[in-house]
Structure 1
Amino acid sequence: MKFKLHFIIAFMALNFNAFGQDKLLQGQVSFVTTNNIYVKFDDTSFIEVGDSLNLGGTDRACLVVKSKSSTSCVCSIVNDCEIQKGDEVVFNYVVKAEPETKQETPTELLLAAPVVEETIESMYTENINGSVSVSGYSNINSQRENRTRVMTRLALNASHINNSKFSFNTYLNYRYIFEQADSTSLPQNSFFRVYNLSVRYDALPSLSVIAGRNINPKISSLGAIDGLQLEKYFGKFYIGAIGGFRPDTFDYGFNSDLLQYGGYAGVMTDAKKFYSQTTLGFVEQQNAGETDRRFAYFQHNSTIFKNLNLFSSLELDLYSKVNGVTANDIRLTNLYISARYRISRKVNLMVSYDSRKRILYYQTFQSEIDRLLDDDLARQGLRARLNIRPFKYISAGFSYARRFRSDEQNKSDNLYGYVTWTRIPSIEGRLSLSYNRNESNYLLSNIGSIRYSRDLVKNKLFADFYYRFVDYNYYSMIDTFLQHYIGTNLSYNISRNLLFSVSGEMAISEIDNNYRIYARIVQRFNSKQKNRR
């Protein structure tokens, strides 16, 4: 009997190791841009490009990994999820045990020693991923003209093509608005935008060159740069230089008059209990050969003991030209500070403060400088957010935000809260309730919503149903404006990488009724998925 018991235990242990263990890797959203979501992890060795990440507290894939480093991932949003900086993200993976290798005897090694062809492997690995999508949106109004538009997007990230030092990245967008035959209200109905189109060359593991239109994450507030970018690492220190042009102010095209150049330096520390990246730089922007703006910027991001995350950025303008008089005045145009503290696995708190002034381009806005300087007051903001998970399948969040200026104009107070219940007994799915109250100098609004979502066919067909009311009370009007919204969304995974979704919404008010229809088809591709087959 004792022998049998030992045999059963050993057999279970072997099977447990053979099939592996389910693990949960937790991270958080560290930065959000128009095109990308940046997620910070302690370790990304188990994550592959193309893998899906879930939003904390849900079992719904919201992010797809586009590229990664040892501690962070650059992702794109899927399934129309709403992502904010500081959100918790989880990744489920399986750790498989290494198979035992047969210990060969010296005789076996000698007999099994044929001539081995020597191969030289590249230090770079090709990885191509991206997506192409086509969407259509129609707004049918009972009182005004109808509007229909179509949009196509292409996002491609080809890293180390053919295992070489060259990489290619692009994000393109084309939008067309169908105008009714009897309408001439649109000055333009066709829009083509190039948000990213660049080639990267890794001359050395520590030296990279980027040519084309690209947004540098170390100076993301600068926006897109048309030109050259160089970056060199010296251990944990790095320096960079940029030279090129700003996109055109009106159509986002190439404009050779908007020359800009500058440089930056920084230091990055990536230890087990401490991560930090700090960058300081200077940029000069011109218009037709004249200085338009000259400024310095600072950006810092750090994580201490995996629980406290600090982020700060500021911009100092160092140039002014008023009535033909040039000066090197210092003007704080942008300041943002945030702290996120993970009190426990179930509670986290975030607070932030920002102060922003209108950016003045003295050459571009030379005829309006006096008017703009008369209104040169900083718009300030305070925000606090608390997320809790009191029970296994219930999460909630509360936030308060205040916007204000020293002259008491354009101030607002915003209060928001939500409760989400996942894996509801009997009916399954997820139920969310939310409420938002905003009060400004001219308006008081109350918005409430209820949303239910679930898989109709597991991993194939996903459904979303919601109701929302919007109550606007303008202080300059006697009557209030109340609208009711009823909508649904269906998403069908035709295959692993092909998604089709359609949404419908009806808006009802005393003035008019609106009907909105939105359809989208997305084809994703990933070279690593093909290699796994």
Structure 2
Amino acid sequence: MKSVSILSLLVLSPLFCFAQNNTEVLQGKVTFITSNNAYVKFSDTRNISIGDTLRLLRGTTLSPSLIVKNKSSTSCVAIILNGADVKVDDKIIFRSKAPIDQKRIDDPNNGTKINSDKVGASTRRSNKINGSVSAASYSTISSTRGNVTRAMYRLSFNAPQINNSKFSVETYMNYRQTFVPKDTMSLQPKDVFNIYNLALRYDVTPTMSLIVGRKINPKVSSVGAIDGLQAEKFFGNFYAGLLVGFRPDVMDYKFNSDLLQYGGYIGLKSDNKEMYSQTTLGFLEQKNNGNIDRRYTYFQHSSTIGRALNIFSSFELDLYNRVNADSVGKPRLTNFYVSLAYRIGRKVDFSVSYNTRKQIIYYETLKTEIERLLDDDNDIARQGMRFRVNARPFKNISIGLSYSKRFQSNDHNNSDNYNGYINVSKIPWIGGSLSLNANRNTSSYMESNILSFRHSRPLIKMKLDADLYYRIVDYTYLSSELITKQNYYGISLSYRITKKMSVTVLGELAATATEENYRVNTRLIQRF
């Protein structure tokens, strides 16, 4: 607990800088996401440098979420900061350091200028609707096992300030179908419809908003989705919010009126030439059939200092510890996370993070397991740490190394993960880019080694792109000394049918000594 207090003071100490300065503002949009990176489209990237911070615009909130890793004349490849919830079609804001006479945002869709004061809690934003609808299939064809096909349909859109009104609507939902052979026994549902976000926002005043529906509040993202009402009010740089609603069902993520939750939060936000920061402290009580399931306080902080240092931290402290129907005992730290990313010049950046988690105890939902979960042998902390460094020694060459470790307070389930990559873009005479990635993981029961090669190139400029890859995987099971070798061969083609419609097809062969599996994925997406 003492370490939590010290770290909290460290991240809170620079929050009292409130001077406002004029900056040039560019607006972009997320077009594609991988496990670690996001691709952002801008009208022009001349003022953006590798290592710059990009901010995610959600409602009227701007939060540092991306670090530029690579760029072209109109797009950026950016690393997703830990804790950032970035989705396709999200709006991204870049603020240059050099002051200009008037704040402006370039709108890449119509070439007009929009005052950047419209980005924030004090004024309205553009009412342009944007989003996407997609259909995808994922098929696995096995030489020894049954074939499986999944179909996924997604819809996401954001309609801010509809018809120049005070109302905004946003949603993200998907529908999944699974097709398996008739004789296959499976407990998993074959048809699943999930709504992850469906919310109506009303701006009561320029500094106060109401949200009804299902939505994750980015200021308290660890709370998860809330089905109900969220209210927020700004008082200059300070803000306060109330949450009243229900938790999604723990089994199928549908609405469950038995899982009432309510709480509130206060926070401080500052944005000036040298620093952007946002800090939130809140309290939440969750119930199940009218009885207390969990009661805790949460903290979240994110900041960018001097365009070089990014900090994100959060923790959850459980306050309810029921024994014989009474709440007793000391507060219990169930979740703590902190990460720091620092850029050295324009060619080197590194990050370090640490997290510790304990089993969250829901006293009603898990009431048959309470005694076992609270036993000292089971109340263990699962911890992890990660270090990453990226460098760009030459214009077309980038390299990176990372190390992560997972461990528990009882010394079980420890693992070490090592990863390295090198990427060469604009290959002479050949064109395209080539990347090499190596990974090694060791744990108490298994060792794995992975080596992968990938070549990416445009086949028809601005229309057809291709990826070719090869991956070697070795698994060694320490208990039996069994070694499994796998080879993966894959190709992916992406074709732009129109400016906002594209189709992607991926084919892969996974071969071992005893079987061959084929994977075929297709995806059609229409943006609007």
TM-score, with length taken from structure 1: 0.80
Match of 2:454 in 1: 451
Report how far residue 325 of structure 1 moved: 3.9
Taking the aligned partners of 2:354 and 2:420, their CA distance within structure 1 comes to 20
1:493 and 1:234 map into 2 onto residues whose CA distance is: 46
- The answer to whether 1:67 aligns with 2:91 is yes
Partner residue in 2 for 1:197: 198
1:300 deviates by: 1.0
Structure 2 counterpart of 1:417: 420
Amino acid at match of 1:348: D
Q: Secondary structure at the match of 2:373?
A: helix
**Paired position in structure 2 for 1:365:** 366
2:431 matched residue in structure 1: 428
Instruction: Tell me the equivalent position of 2:172.
Output: 171
Contact 2:64 / 2:302 at 8 angstroms: preserved in 1?
no
Over residues 267-307 of structure 1, what are the superposed CA-to-partner deviations in whole Å (9 max), with x where a residue is unaligned? 11101011111110000000000000000011111111111
Contact 1:296/1:317, CA 8 A, preserved across alignment: yes
- State the Cα deviation string for residues 26-70 of structure 1 (Å, max 9, x = none): 43367899xx9965589xxxxxxxx9742159xxxx986533567
Q: Is the 8 A contact 2:386 2:405 kept in 1?
A: yes
Q: SS at the partner of 2:475? A: strand
Against the structure 1 CA distance between its residues 128 and 460, is the aligned structure 2 distance closer, same or farther, given a 3 Å change threshold?
A: same
Distance 1:63 1:39, change over 3 A: farther
Secondary structure of the 1:25 match is: coil
Superimposed CA distance per residue, residues 58-113 of structure 1 (whole angstroms, 9 cap, x where no aligned partner): xxxx98653356759xxxxxxxxxxxxxxxxxx999xx9x9xxxxxxxxxxxxxxx
Counterparts in 2 of 1:228-377, with a 5 A limit? 228-327=229-328, 329-374=330-375, 375-377=378-380
1:384 maps to: 387
Question: Do the aligned partners of residues 510 and 444 (structure 1) sit closer, same or farther apart at CA in structure 2, a change above 3 Å counting?
Answer: same
The number of aligned residues is 449
Q: What code does the residue aligned with 1:216 have?
A: N
Match for residue 24 of structure 1 among 47, 63, 66: 47
Amino acid at match of 2:442: E
1:25/1:92 contact within 8 Å kept: no
Q: Which amino acid aligns with 1:179?
A: V
Measure, in 1, the Cα distance between the counterparts of 2:224 and 2:455: 37
User: How far apart, in 2, do the equivalents of 1:518 and 1:37 lie?
Assistant: 35
Structure 2 equivalent of residue 55 of structure 1: 77
Instruction: Tell me how far 1:185 sits from its aligned partner.
Output: 2.6
1:506 maps to 509
Q: CA deviation at 1:174?
A: 0.3
Seq. identity, %: 51
- Going from structure 1 to structure 2, the CA distance change for 1:209 and 1:32 (only over 3 Å counts) comes to closer
Listed as ranges, the matches of 1:436-447 within 5 Å are: 436-447=439-450
Equivalent residue of 1:23, what SS? Answer: coil
CA distance in 1, matches of 2:507, 2:444: 34
Q: Which has the larger radius of gyration?
A: 1
**Alignment CA distance shift 1:349-1:209 (3 Å):** same
Deviation at 1:371, TM superposition (A): 1.6
Q: Show the counterpart of 2:161.
A: 160
Point out where structure 2 has 5 or more consecutive residues left out of the alignment. Answer: 1-42, 68-72, 80-85, 97-105, 114-122
Q: 2:524 aligns with which of 513, 521, 525?
A: 521
Asked whether the equivalents of residues 342 and 348 of structure 1 are also in contact (C-alpha less than 8 Å), the reply is: yes
The secondary structure found in structure 2 opposite 1:255 is strand
Distance 1:21 1:443 in 2: 48
Contact kept in structure 1, 2:207 and 2:235, CA below 8 Å: yes
CA displacement 1:170-192 (0-9 Å, x = unmatched): 11110001121222334520000
For 1:82-121, what aligned pairs fall within 5 Å after superposition? none
The residue matched to 2:220 in structure 1 has which SS? helix
- State the distance in 2 between where 1:24 and 1:465 align: 32
Please say if residues 268 and 276 of structure 1, whose CA atoms lie closer than 8 Å, have aligned partners that are also in contact.
yes
Read off the aligned partner of 1:24 and give its amino acid letter.
N
The 1:339/1:257 distance shift into structure 2, 3 A limit, reads same
2:187 & 2:180 partners in 1: Cα distance? 8
CA distance in 2, matches of 1:373, 1:297: 21
The one-letter amino acid paired with 1:492 is: Y
Which residue matches 1:182? Answer: 183
Range with bigger deviation, 300-309 or 259-268: 300-309
Q: In the superposition, relative to structure 1, how do residues 408 and 37 fare at CA in structure 2: closer, same or farther (>3 Å)? A: farther
Residue 369 (structure 1) shift: 1.1
For 1:31 and 1:401, the matched residues in 2 are separated by: 27
Number of the residue aligned with 1:111: none
Distance change (3 Å), C-alpha of 1:418 and 1:123: closer
Is contact 2:342-2:349 (8 Å) kept? yes
2 CA distance for matches of 1:394 and 1:432? 10
Task: Give the letter aligned to residue 294 of structure 2.
Answer: R
The SS at the match of 1:470 is: strand
2:78, 2:91 → 1: CA distance? 21
Counterparts in 2 of 1:373 and 1:491: CA distance versus 1, 3 Å: same
Q: 1:21 to 1:54 in 2, by over 3 A?
A: closer
Aligned partner of 2:149: which letter? T
SS in 1 for 2:364: coil
Cα distance change on mapping 1:251 and 1:356 into 2, 3 Å: same
Query: Is 2:494 aligned against 1:491?
Result: yes
- Contact 2:405/2:415 (8 A) holds in 1: yes
Q: Distance in 1 between matches of 2:65 and 2:139?
A: 38
Question: C-alpha separation between the residues in 2 aligned to 1:244 and 1:52?
Answer: 42
Q: Secondary structure at the match of 1:480?
A: strand
Partner Cα separation in structure 2 for residue 354 and residue 128 of structure 1: 38
Residue in 2 that maps onto 1:6 = none
Distance 1:234 1:71 in 2: 24
Distance change (3 Å), C-alpha of 1:308 and 1:362: same
Where 1:367 maps in the other structure, the secondary structure is: helix
In the alignment, the residues of structure 2 paired with residue 38 and residue 309 of structure 1 have an alpha-carbon distance, to the nearest angstrom, of 11
Q: How far off is 1:206 after superposition?
A: 0.5
